[in-house]
Every structure is written in structure tokens, then in C-alpha cells.
Amino acid sequence: MSITLSNVAMLVSVFLMIAFLCYAFLYSQERGIRYFAWVMICRVIYAGSVIMEINSESLAAKMLFRNIEQTSLLFVVPMMIFFVLALFGKSEYLRPIRMMQILSIFILWSLLIWTNPYHQLIFDHIELNQGHLEISKTVYSITFNIICYLIIAACVFYLFIYLRRVRPELRKPGIWIILCGCIPAATEVAKSAYSGFTPWLLPLSVYSGFLGMAMLWMVIRYRMFSVVPLARQVVVETMEEGILIVNHRGSVIDSNAYVAPLFTGAGEDSIAGRRIDTLLANWPDWLRACERMEASDMEIDAQVNGQSRVYSVKVYPLASLGKKGQGTVSILFDITEKQRQMEQIVKLNQLKDQLFAIVSHDIRNPLAVQASLIEVLKEDKGMFNRNHQEVIDALSGQIQHTFVMIENLLEWFRSQKEGMLLQPERLRLSDVVEEVCRTLQLNGEAKQIAIHLEIDSDIEVYADREAVNLIVRNLMTNAIKFSERGEKILVSADANAEQVIVSVSDNGVGMDEDRVRELFDPLRLVSTTGTAGERGTGLGLQVCQQFVRMSGGQIWVESIPRQKTVFYFSLRAANSERGHDESTAY
């Protein structure tokens, strides 16, 4: 082989293709790259064979290298098919059996090329003309070549479709790589169209290897063979949030499929490159945040596929080190269902408020009147005969039970409402407890239960009077309920500088450890029948716990089954709240 400028140029071109091939092999484990490497191998073999053909003199030698060229080009076609299938994740077509079925077609055709002298189905005329090999192809060969070119064209078409799904910054270099790869294919089409072009197109197909340098630079520069761009595509396109990236000039540079339905009315399938002043015109707050490149958080309404949707939009500014804002990233969350649930909750809360208003006005007030009337009857029951006295006692118990239940229910509801106000003040604890004792005196006398107080008259607390009254009344009512006839109840208090601990103890039925653990569980409203068959709702202790906490204290219990039960709760001492005479909101 003589050393000429043409030969040197072709050898350099081959070495550039080999360099590209070596780089591809470094990433051969990435999806589809192994098949791309085989395409490059075929190109290198083809280029080397062209050089050897040009520098050969005999017809046999030239024909040998021409057959190698045809065979290497032939196997470019199945490798391109496998490359495209791998990029699109069609792994079912890349099983060994399927691949061998496709390869078998090209293997058989290559055998026809090498055995052409015996059947002349591929070439019907071969001769040397001024040192150049001229070959006339048969109809079968031309038809098969056209099919191969159509397959290559289809592969290129699908590569362009694939590039539409990747990031915008990868699309342009990807297109240039495909165009550079199409130039050698174009030279082969030209040679097939007119054999007279072969003498000068043959070396040109090798020179196109110089384009491999540009392709290699773009592949390295944009990490085209790395899994990172692919991973980004998979993550962004499958995530359940929308992404819209806008540059500092107000143009969309990237987005995912999630946000596309918002802009279907824009008249274009792709929103890349669109101006946000028209794209976001329906949402001025969003548009303003993107134009000013400011962090913002908002909710927008949109029509998507004929349905009204609500989205939460978070806008984040983009800025590189030492530079001004480069753009914004908008993240969209569909909160339609959440919004509907919130609306339902609001309606349910309104219904609940109406219900308790009815309970408070239309049920509690008449019951209070009935309770007062029955107390008057109980005071004068000596005027009635024995049967009437029993009826009055039974009626009094039922009305008192129902009234306490309604009272606890209303107080519990009041404690659950946000912004509820307690009016803490300095209270003499003994006064409040004595008031409760007078209220429950008839209940205690009915079971012959004695109530003893051990509270110093100088103990003062800083709390809401009604709340303390409610807590003590519920605890004493429970003590009476679970005490046997003739027992006694003790209410005592111990004070220190910071708090006052009040205890209510009885010698009744007591509780086991499991029952004690469930006692203040808000999800368990368990009511136990009293020693005289008294019933309840289980709300009393929940109300106590809520108001003790709102008063800044704690509540707990100690109990021994069939021996005793002691409830404790703490309140702030009045001395610890000097100067606090304003209302406190909880």
C-alpha cells in the first residue's frame, strides 16, 4: 500500500472510528450501547476493507475486499434494529431466539454474497475498469438493498422520536450525532443509485470517519452513553408531580408529561420553547413569580380533559454561583381530591355545629327545667304515698342521668372547638368543691354515701371556675356511681408553690390495669354500669382530661380492684400566676 495523502487521510479516519468504538465499549453495559458498538465494529471493518480494495490491483483481491465491505454493511442493519429496540426498552424482542431469527436473514444473505460466483443471484457482471471494480447488481440485490435502506430510515425516524423525550439540552447534540451517522449511509445510497459514483464515493465513505471525532466529542461532552440522562428521563416522566422549567428569558426549556394537559389548549403538543406570557396568562400569580424569578407558593384552578382541577404550585428560582437568576422551576401537585375532602369536612363541621346548637337549645334547656321541677317534688315527696315516692325517685334518677349526659356531651364539644376561651381567675378551691357537693348531695344520700372534704380554706388555684366545677363534679359522680351503699368518698388537696393536686378517692369496685390504661384513650369510650345499675356514656373522663390539660395540669388514676380508686388532677396554684388577670385562649 503506497503512502499517499488519500491513504493517510483514510487511515486517520479509521483510527478515529476505532477511538469512538473504544469509548462505546467502556459503556457497553448501558442500555443499547453494546449494539451501537457492534455498528461501529462493522463500520471499522468496512473502512479497512475499502482501503485495502483501493490499494489492491487484481480482480480477485478487489472482489474479496468488496465482499467484506458488503458483509460488514449488511450486519449494520440488524445491529441498528437491536440498538433502537434496546433504547425503547423492547426487551421481549431482544431474547436470543428472536435475535437469531432476525440475524439468520442477514447471515443467509451474506452466504449468497460469498457464493455469488456459483449462482450469480447478487452480482451478474464484475469487471475492472481503469483499476476500479465495477459490479452490476441483480434485481434481487437491488430489492434487498432498498429494504435495508428503508429499515435504516425507520431506525433513524425512531431515534428522532426518542430524542423528543429527552432533555432539551440533549436533543440538539443527539440530532447532530444522528445526522453525522447518516452521511455514510447517504453515500451508500448514492453508490447504489448510480454505480458511476463508486470510484470517488468509495473513499468518501471512509473520510466520513472524521465525523466520528465530532460525534465522539458530543458524546463525551453530554455524557450520551451515561445512564444519567436516561435515569433523569425515567424519573421526571414517571413522577406524580408536574415540572415546568423556565429560563431567564421567559421561555419554557423543559417539562414533563404531567403538566402537558394544562396547556393542551395552547394549540401545540410540545410546550418547549413557548413563551410563558401566553402560556401562563390564565394564572397571573404564577406568571409574575416566573418573570420575577421569585420563590412563591400558590393554588391554581385549571380545566384538564374537561374536568376542573386544583393544583398547588411551588416556584423555585434558579441561580448559578456569582450570577443573577437563570430561571425558575415550578413544581405542581394535584390537590383536587384534598380540596374536595376539605370542603366535605367543612360541611360536616357546620352540620355538627348545627346539631349541637339544637341539642343545647332544644334538649338541654327543657331537661334543666325538668331536673329543677323533680328536685322540688323530691323535697316534698313526704306529701305522697309510698308508690308515688318510688316513681318520683326513679324519675329523678333518669332525668339526672340524662341531664349529666347532655351536659358532658356539650362540654366535650365545647372543649374540642378551636379558639375556645377559658377565663382563669384566682379561686378558693374549697368553695368550688363545696358547691359541687351541694349539687350531688341528693345523689349521695340516695346510696347513703358520705362525702368528706379535706381541703384547707386558704388553698387557691388559678383556673376557670366552670372548668374546675365540671372536673370535680364528673369525678365525684363517678365515685358515687362505683361505690357500694354506705361507703364514703374523700376529696382532698395538697398545695405547693407551683401547683395544687386534687384527689377524689372511693372504696368502690376499683379497676384492673388494662381498664386503667384504656381510661383516657380518646378512641375508646367505654361505659361501665354502676353498683346500683347507673349508666353513662364514657364521655365524663374525656371531658375532665380535656379541661385539665387546657387548665395547664395533668390527670391520672391509681386503682386496686375491689378495694379503692383515687383520681388525681393538678391545677396551677394562684401564687404562680400573679399578675395574670387577662383571659387565656386555648
Cell 372534704 identifies what position? 453
The pLDDT of residue 55 is 79
Q: What is the mean pLDDT of residues 556-561?
A: 92
Q: How far apart are CA 500 and CA 570, in angstroms?
A: 6
For position 423, what pLDDT does the model report? 83
For the record, the C-alpha cell of 534 comes out as: 347507673
Residues 490-517 as b/e (b if ≥16 CB within 10 A, e otherwise) read: bbbbebeeebbbbbbbbbbbbbeeeeee
Q: Is the pLDDT of residue 320 over 70?
A: no
DSSP 389-435: HHHHHHHHHHHHHHHHHHHHHHHHHHHHSTT-EE-EEEEEHHHHHHH
pLDDT at 369: 75
Q: Which pairs with CB-CB distance under 8 Å and at least 24 residues apart come from 267-274? A: 270/164, 272/168
pLDDT at residue number 304: 83
pLDDT at 544 over 80: yes
The pLDDT tens digits of the residues spanning 3-45 come to 555 556 666 666 666 776 676 666 666 656 778 778 878 877 8
How far is residue 134's CA from residue 115's CA, in Å, rounded to a whole number?
Answer: 18
Span 512-523, pLDDT tens digits:
888 888 888 777
Q: State the CB neighbour count (10 A cutoff) for residue 521.
A: 12
Q: What is the pLDDT of residue 266?
A: 45
Q: Which residue has the higher pLDDT, 407 or 175?
A: 175
- Where is average pLDDT lowest: 159-163, 233-237, 353-357? 233-237
Which pLDDT score, from 0 to 100, does residue 132 have? 75
CA 33 – CA 435 distance, rounded (Å): 88
- State percent of the chain over pLDDT 70: 74
Question: How much is the pLDDT for 268?
Answer: 47
Q: What burial class does residue 174 get, using C-beta atoms within 10 Å of its C-beta: 0-12 exposed, 13-18 middle, 19+ buried?
A: buried
* Structural contact between residues 12 and 207, judged by C-beta atoms closer than 8 angstroms: no
Give the start-to-end residue ranges of the domains of the chain. 5-229, 239-334, 339-415, 418-585
Burial zone of 583 (CB within 10 Å; 0-12 exposed, 13-18 middle, 19+ buried): exposed
* 5-229 is a CATH 1.20.1070.10 domain: yes
User: Of the ranges 90-99, 121-130, 165-174, 265-274, which is most confident?
Assistant: 90-99
CATH number of 418-585: 3.30.565.10
Residue 5 · residue 39 · CB < 8 Å: no
What band does 359 get if pLDDT is binned at 50, 70 and 90?
A: low
Q: What is the pLDDT of residue 150?
A: 92
Kindly give the pairing relationship between strand 555-560 and strand 564-572: antiparallel
The answer to whether the CB of 222 falls within 8 A of the CB of 173 is yes
> Which whole number is the average pLDDT over 467-494?
90
- Whether 89 shows a pLDDT value over 60: the answer reads yes
What pLDDT is stored for residue 502 in this prediction? Answer: 95
* Fold of the CATH domain 239-334: Beta-Lactamase (3.30.450)
In angstroms, the CA 492 to CA 504 distance is: 7
pTM of the model: 0.43
331: phi then psi, degrees, rounded to nearest 5? -110, 130
Q: Which CA distances in Å does 12 have to 5, 20, 345?
A: 11, 12, 75
Residue 205 has pLDDT above 60, yes or no: no
Q: Is the pLDDT of residue 452 over 80?
A: yes
**How many Å separate Cα 395 from the centre of its chain?**
59
The rounded distance, in Å, linking the Cα atoms of 460 and 458 is 6
Q: How many CA atoms lie within 13 A of 185 on its CB side?
A: 22
Please give the pLDDT value at position 285: 92
Q: What's the CA gap between 25 and 14, in Å, rounded? A: 16
Mean pLDDT of 528-554: 81
Query: Which residue has cell 356531651?
Result: 409
Backbone angles phi, psi at 171, to 5 degrees: -70, -50
